[in-house]
Amino acid sequence: MGEDDTIRVPVTRRALLETGTAAAALLLTAVRHPAQAAAPPGPASLSPAAPSSTVAVTLLINGHPHDLNLDPRTTLLDALREHLALTGSKKGCDHGQCGACTVLLEGRRINSCLTLAVMHDGQAITTIEGLASGDTLHPLQAAFVEHDGFQCGYCTSGQICSATGMLSEFREGMPSYVTEDLTKPHLDLTDAELHERMSGNICRCAAYPNITAAIRQVAGMPA
């Protein structure tokens, strides 16, 4: 075969575009992932998954210690519900906006969905299950029943725990956002004060008048 007999394959526009696209894709892969481009991943190059780790923590719940080994990312709410079967504290929004998960930490009310269980090693935590004394209801529990302070009941445990902490704060003279005179050692639990102090607890059934009446009764206020 002579020089004039060389076989020439015609290059079409379609073939040129396909070849250029493939070359560009390979170049982009090499730039973004040089290690992968040099050595395609195989079974030997896959790194093993990091071993899971837990943290030992002792939670003092309703006067009883509980020794747990928890993922450090476990919220206090999940520790209560999933590890200790204390399901009275409800998971509503899981963002600290509804108050259904409210518990008492060393007597102060907190949203248990916003704090990690490992942060409270050895601290006293009270849930709705620990408010009653045996078969005797806590005064707020009894008042909620008397005034029908719940409908579906999903928010009730958080409402009662929050009200318990709120009344303690009020009796200690702690002001709220609507307190007008900060120099008064003893505040008046007006409707505005009560509503502001309980504003972090949402009742989707809108049983607020009954909830307010129950709290006012326990606080010794006229109905």
CATH of the domain at 82: 3.10.20.30
Domain-located, residue 9: no
Note whether 111 and 152 are same-domain residues. no
Domain-located, residue 13: no
Note whether 151 and 212 are same-domain residues. yes
Note whether 125 and 160 are same-domain residues. no
Q: Structurally, how many domains does the chain consist of? A: 2
Note whether 68 and 110 are same-domain residues. yes
pLDDT for the residue 37? 47
pLDDT for the residue 16? 56
Task: Per residue of the chain (223 residues), give pLDDT as tens.
Answer: 555 555 555 656 666 556 666 666 555 555 555 555 455 555 544 555 555 699 999 999 999 999 999 999 999 999 999 999 999 999 999 999 999 999 999 999 999 999 999 999 999 999 999 999 999 999 999 999 999 999 999 999 999 999 999 999 999 999 999 998 888 867 788 999 999 999 999 999 999 999 999 999 999 887 6
Note whether 124 and 85 are same-domain residues. yes
Note whether 126 and 109 are same-domain residues. yes
Looking at 90, 107, 130, the residue that finishes a domain is: 130
The CATH number of residue 198's host domain is 1.10.150.120
Note whether 105 and 62 are same-domain residues. yes
- Domain limits for position 211: 139-219
Note whether 71 and 90 are same-domain residues. yes
Note whether 61 and 120 are same-domain residues. yes
Domain-located, residue 81: yes
Note whether 162 and 124 are same-domain residues. no
Please, what is the angle between helix 156-171 and helix 208-219, to 10°? Answer: 40
Domain-located, residue 40: no
Domain-located, residue 28: no
The region that residue 62 occupies, defined by phi over 0 for left and psi between -120 and 50 for alpha, beta otherwise, is left
pTM of the model as a whole? 0.75
Note whether 94 and 153 are same-domain residues. no
Looking at 112, 130, 148, the residue that finishes a domain is: 130
Domain-located, residue 143: yes
Looking at 73, 99, 130, the residue that finishes a domain is: 130
